[in-house]
Structure 1
Amino acid sequence: MPQPRSTRIAVIGDIHNHWNAQDHLALKSLNADLALFVGDFGNEAVEVVRQISTLDLPIATTFGNHDAWYTATPWGRKRCPYDRDKEDWVKQQMALLDHADTGYRHQDFDTVSVVGGRPFSWGGPEWRFTDFYGEWFGVHNFEESAQRIQEAANAAAHDTLIFLGHNGPTGLGKEPEDTCGKDWRPIGGDYGDPDLAAAIAAVKASGKSVPLVAFGHMHHSLRHTKEVQRTRLCIENGTVYLNAACVPRIMDTEIGTQRNFSVVTLQENQVTEVNLVWVDEGLAIASTECLYTTMKVTEHSASV
Structure 2
Amino acid sequence: MAESQGIRIAAIGDIHDRWESEDEAALEYLGVDLALFVGDFGNESVEVVRQIANINIPKAAIMGNHDAWYNATDWGISKCPYDRMKEDRVQQQLDLLGDAHVGFGKLDFPELNLSVVGSRPFSWGGSSWKNNRFYRERFGVQSFEESAERIVSAASATQCDTLLFIGHNGPLGMGEGAEDPCGKDWQPIGGDHGDPDFAAAIAQTRQLGKTIPFATFGHMHHTLRHTKEQTRRAIHVDHAGTVYLNAANVPRIVERNGDRFRNFSIVTLHQGLVSQASLLWLNRDFEVASEQVLYQAPRLKFVENAPTLRASHRK
The TM-score normalised by the length of structure 2 is 0.92
Match of 1:292 in 2: 295
1:247 corresponds to which letter in structure 2?
V
Match of 1:11 in 2: 11
Match of 2:183 in 1: 181
Match of 2:88 in 1: 88
* In 1, Cα distance between equivalents of 2:293 and 2:41: 26
Unaligned runs of 5+ residues in structure 2 are 300-315
Match of 1:99 in 2: 99
The DSSP-based 3-state class of the residue aligned with 2:124 is coil
Aligned 1:88-127 pairs, distance under 5 A: 88-109=88-109, 110=111, 111-127=113-129
Matched, 1:53 2:53: yes
1:126 corresponds to which letter in structure 2?
S
Match of 1:157 in 2: 159
2:148 corresponds to which letter in structure 1?
A
Q: Is the CA contact (8 Å cut-off) linking 2:10 and 2:35 kept in structure 1?
A: yes
CA apart distance, 1:35: 0.2
Matched, 1:258 2:261: yes
Aligned 1:224-239 pairs, distance under 5 A: 224-236=226-238, 237-239=240-242
CA apart distance, 1:206: 2.1
Corresponding residue to 1:279 among 279, 282, 292: 282
Aligned residues: 296
The DSSP-based 3-state class of the residue aligned with 1:182 is coil
The DSSP-based 3-state class of the residue aligned with 1:180 is coil
CA apart distance, 1:20: 1.4
The DSSP-based 3-state class of the residue aligned with 2:48 is helix
The DSSP-based 3-state class of the residue aligned with 1:98 is helix
Q: Is the CA contact (8 Å cut-off) linking 2:156 and 2:208 kept in structure 1?
A: no
Match of 2:168 in 1: 166
Corresponding residue to 1:203 among 188, 202, 205: 205
Q: Is the CA contact (8 Å cut-off) linking 2:3 and 2:270 kept in structure 1?
A: no
* In 1, Cα distance between equivalents of 2:5 and 2:118: 25
Q: Is the CA contact (8 Å cut-off) linking 1:5 and 1:268 kept in structure 2?
A: no
CA apart distance, 1:99: 2.5
1:293 corresponds to which letter in structure 2?
Q
* In 1, Cα distance between equivalents of 2:192 and 2:175: 6
CA apart distance, 1:22: 1.6
Matched, 1:73 2:52: no
Compared CA separation, residues 242 and 83, structure 1 to 2 (3 A): same
Q: RMSD between aligned alpha carbons?
A: 1.3
* In 2, Cα distance between equivalents of 1:4 and 1:48: 35
Using the aligned pairs only, state the percent identity.
56
Q: Is the CA contact (8 Å cut-off) linking 1:251 and 1:258 kept in structure 2?
A: yes
* In 2, Cα distance between equivalents of 1:104 and 1:225: 35
Which piece of structure 1 moves more, 94-103 or 287-296?
287-296
Match of 2:62 in 1: 62
CA apart distance, 1:25: 1.6
Q: Is the CA contact (8 Å cut-off) linking 1:7 and 1:265 kept in structure 2?
A: yes
The TM-score normalised by the length of structure 1 is 0.95
1:99 corresponds to which letter in structure 2?
D
The DSSP-based 3-state class of the residue aligned with 2:32 is coil
